[in-house]
Amino acid sequence: MIECFLTLAMGVNAQLQQDTTPASAVDQGPVLSESDSELTFDFTPGVWLLRVRGKASNGPGNQPDLRLDTQLGLTDLITAFRGEAVISKGDWSVRIAGSTFDSSGSTTAEEFMEWGNIALSPGDDFTSTFDMSFMAAELQWELWNPLGKKTLTDEHPLRLGMGPHVGISWIDIDQTLTSGLQTVSNGSAWWSIWGGANLEFEFDMKRFVSWIDSIRVQAMAGLGATPIDGGLMWHAGGGAQIFFTPNFSASIEYRYEKYTLEDGDWNLTPNFQGLFLGGTIRF
């Protein structure tokens, strides 16, 4: 009887030792935590359908501001290239964006106006141009993920992430006004910094539509300043991406950017707003 009891006790003890053996002692391969993830790269080239809005003045003293669209003739819809890229790993990502365009317009002065050394009377014809290039970079942190998952799965078809970002941008603007044989040209570049927040919602669509993998909805906004030769600036955007495969999507989004800039007697408060249509390739 005692021998049977000892034999049973030894067997139970061996089983307990086997159950409590650390997994790392059994499997010497790498073990990834749930928070680990691979580096991903999203590139979105597209067309920015925008209009230039805001005001500008040029001259010493308190020259009246002129509207860029109705008074300076920049009313056309502009088709500009815009590219955005997002490099992500875990809760962190970097978003890079850039765009460039050239615009011009011809109109007739409806009131007495001054631009630099050009004085315009009602009925005077003139031409103005406005060219812009910019680059921006944002560091984003997905601070809160209330649904608890970073990626979509069959058990968790929804993903919601939100958090702060900080950014910096460089913008270069050239503006001219020509009346008769007189032309006034100005050009300068500025740096701006800002902070803001992002929100991103993603939904698995494969269970409903066979040709759509997922839909991602995004929103973002930031507030900052141009610290040298400028003032308040802010930006906002949002939109949707439809992923037909995990690596390709079509997107329809909106981008708005507003600046306060100055260079000597040349003062600008332009804003650029419009739809951003593109396609995303993910690596």
Mean of all residue pLDDT scores within the chain: 87
pLDDT value at 51 more than 70: yes
Higher-scoring residue by pLDDT: 2, 71:
71
Residue 7: predicted pLDDT? 47
102: Cβ contacts below 8 Å, ≥ 6 apart:
129, 131
Under 8 Å between Cβ of 274 and 99: no
With beta carbons less than 8 A apart as the criterion, state whether 279 and 45 touch.
yes
Q: Please determine, for residue 5, whether its predicted confidence score (pLDDT) is greater than 50.
A: no
Q: For the purposes of burial, counting CB atoms within 10 Å of the CB of 198, is it exposed (0-12), middle (13-18) or buried (19 or more)?
A: buried
pLDDT score recorded for residue 150: 67
Is the Cβ–Cβ distance between 234 and 261 less than 8 Å?
Answer: no
pLDDT tens digits, 194-246: 999 999 999 999 888 989 999 999 999 999 999 999 999 999 999 999 999 99
pLDDT in tens, 79-108: 999 999 999 998 999 999 999 999 999 999
For domain 37-282, give its CATH number from 3.20.20.105, 2.60.40.10, 3.60.15.10, 2.40.128.90.
2.40.128.90
Give the number of other Cβ atoms within 10 Å of residue 122's Cβ.
10
Domain ranges of the chain: 37-282
Q: pLDDT, tens digit, for every residue of 122-177?
A: 999 999 999 999 999 999 999 998 876 667 677 778 889 999 999 999 999 999 99
